[in-house]
């Protein structure tokens, strides 16, 4: 867990992984730029099946690709601007937390209003996903699950 209280999301970039024409991962590495100038990266480590994070120095620009060819197959890593796509740039953060229990470990970037961007990895199907969960509104019944959008 990383406490992000008092900081805002200055940028959120996902590195996708494409093998040929197939998207293998929507977020094989995630870059978070914070309003205080620091940056955090995280990825799913499929050896021990846990999400890991680290402080990083460089965040790639969205729209840039890294690519190379291995034995005739194109490997491509586009950098996607999730902050713009998901409308989270400038929003106050609360924490980054990883939950590795069960067959679908998650990493959650949680915002001060209770919403989150959730990164999941399904170990059974070897697939990942990115989902936004909405904040719980005051009108919601206690114990009710928050609305989700994906």
Summarize pLDDT for 61-91 with one digit per residue, the tens.
999 999 999 999 999 999 999 999 999 999 9
Q: What does the pLDDT look like over 99-135, one tens digit per residue?
A: 876 778 899 999 999 999 999 988 888 889 899 988 7
Q: Is the dihedral of CA 9, 35, 110, 121 positive or negative?
A: positive
Residue 63 and residue 36 in contact, taking contact as beta carbons nearer than 8 Å: no
Q: Tell me: the pLDDT tens digits for 13-32?
A: 999 999 999 999 999 999 99
* Residue with the larger pLDDT of the pair 47 and 150: 47
Phi, psi of 84 (to 5 degrees): -75, -45
Give the pTM.
Answer: 0.84
- Judged by phi (left if over 0) then psi (alpha if -120 to 50, else beta), residue 90 lies in left
């Amino acid at each position: 867990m990383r406490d992000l209280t008092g900081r805002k999301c200055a940028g959120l970039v996902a590195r996708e992984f494409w093998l040929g024409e197939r998207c293998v991962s929507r977020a094989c590495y995630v870059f978070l730029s914070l309003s205080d100038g620091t940056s955090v990266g995280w990825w799913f480590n499929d050896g021990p099946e846990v999400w890991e994070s680290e402080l990083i120095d460089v965040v790639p620009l969205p729209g840039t690709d890294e690519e190379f060819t291995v034995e005739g197959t194109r490997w491509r890593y586009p950098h996607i601007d999730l902050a713009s796509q998901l409308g989270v740039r400038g929003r106050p953060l609360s924490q980054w937390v990883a939950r590795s229990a069960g067959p679908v470990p998650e990493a959650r970037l949680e915002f001060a209003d209770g919403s989150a961007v959730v990164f999941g990895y399904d170990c059974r199907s070897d697939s990942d996903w990115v989902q936004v969960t909405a904040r719980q509104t005051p009108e919601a019944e206690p114990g009710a699950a928050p609305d989700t959008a994906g």
